[in-house]
Amino acid sequence: MVNTKWKFIIPLVLVLILGISTTAYAHGARINYTVNMTIDIVAKYDNGEPMGGAQLVVYAPDDPSNPWLTGVCDDEGRFSFTPDTSKPGTWTIQARQSGHGDIVHIPIGEDTAVTGSSGGYTVLQIVVMAVCGIWGFVGTALYFSRRRA
């Protein structure tokens, strides 16, 4: 009985030791990155002339009724903005001036929203966490299924 018990305890202790984080004796580094896209708008009249000074309104897909951003085109009808890529869907941009206007719909999918960072868990740590979790379930099941003396 004692031997059987130690067959479980010793491996468990070894696994726990391997999984414990140790103190880092060197400076750490962490890089976070986000891929952003910029949308460049060029607003022109039907005859090709730029809509200089046109009013721009940008609507995000999660709140199509309220402007997400407003602005004014430059003299060449140009306007740039960076959408929030955490809001995938159809972004709507409206340009208006002097009774003329147009609207454009730009789809921005989930795959264009890229945010990440260096660091995180190592493969060994992930394996250890998985083994511990599984062992917890198995152990609990064995405990409740034991034969009472």
Cα–Cα distance for residue pair 33/16, rounded to 1 Å = 33
- Taking the complex as a whole, how short is the minimal distance between the CB of residue 100 and another protein, in angstroms? 6
* Interface region with another protein, contact rule CB under 8 A, candidates 19-27, 28-36, 94-102, 138-146: 94-102
> Quick one: 51 or 85, whose CB is closer to another protein?
51
Is the Cα torsion angle 86, 37, 95, 93 positive or negative in sign? negative
Binding of another protein at residue 81 (CB under 8 A)? Answer: no
- Taking the complex as a whole, how short is the minimal distance between the CB of residue 90 and another protein, in angstroms? 7
* Interface region with another protein, contact rule CB under 8 A, candidates 3-11, 14-22, 87-95, 135-143: 87-95
Q: What is the DSSP letter of 143?
A: H
Site for another protein in 59-78 (CB under 8 A): 59, 64-65
Cα angle for residues 16, 7, 20 (degrees, 5° grid): 5
Cα–Cα distance for residue pair 12/132, rounded to 1 Å = 8
Cα angle for residues 58, 64, 68 (degrees, 5° grid): 35
Binding of another protein at residue 38 (CB under 8 A)? Answer: no
* Interface region with another protein, contact rule CB under 8 A, candidates 25-33, 43-51, 77-85, 122-130: 43-51
Contact 114, 34 (CB under 8 A): yes
Summarize as ranges the residues that interact with another protein (CB under 8 A): 45-47, 59, 64-65, 90, 92, 94, 96, 98-103, 105, 107
